[in-house]
A and B are shown apart, each in its own frame.
Chain A
């Protein structure tokens, strides 16, 4: 049982390049999330998907797009990377966005934009 798997673990990009971060969960969770983590700022929500076929903006969506490919997979795309997007990105999932359901996190993708 792998839980939440993120790929790649590390990536270096040049300004203006594009890339897609992949996330997959094997817990049959309905809801999935993308966060970014910056020093001293905790976790900030970029986008979320409450259920298969739906996506919504979080606190910091500018410069990102997402795709809920199926129930298991939720990808995050940077169309034109900027240095301000240098961060650690975490994917999470839980049974249901509503109510008291804890989130399960992957181990992150460390992204540097030069």
Chain B
């Protein structure tokens, strides 16, 4: 079955700097990769997603890149702000009756 690894587990950056979180997956059939942000006491909220027919997707300060050959995808946050501090989860799934498999999460702290 699918296995998703996520690094780093914790990340601290200065406000205004960029943050990058990387995930790797094992199942070459996976074709949909969402990223979720979870704030303290809340459920995960979708922030961006990418499908396997696209290499990069941007939404304002957030971007996701996908390398199908290497089987990894990354979340890029530019011009970080204190409100970006949260736990971020990546996930992967395919069309062949599989459920989402989540990475273990990255705790991002943006220091003012």
Contacts and interface: CB of A to CB of B under 8 A. Distances in A.
A42 B99 contact: no
Contact of B102 (A40, A43, A98, A107): A43
A100 B51 contact: yes
A90 B43 contact: yes
Interface residues of A, number: 23
Interface residues of B, number: 24
Q: Tell me if B's interface is mostly helix, strand, loop or mixed.
A: loop
Interface string A87-106: 00010100001111011111
Contacts of B41: 107-108
A90 B105 CA distance: 15
Contacts of A81: none
A40 B100 contact: no
B89 A42 contact: yes
Interface of A: 4, 33, 40-45, 48, 58, 90, 92, 97-100, 102-108
Interface of B: 6, 9, 31-32, 34, 36, 41-46, 49, 51, 89, 93, 95, 97, 99-100, 102-105
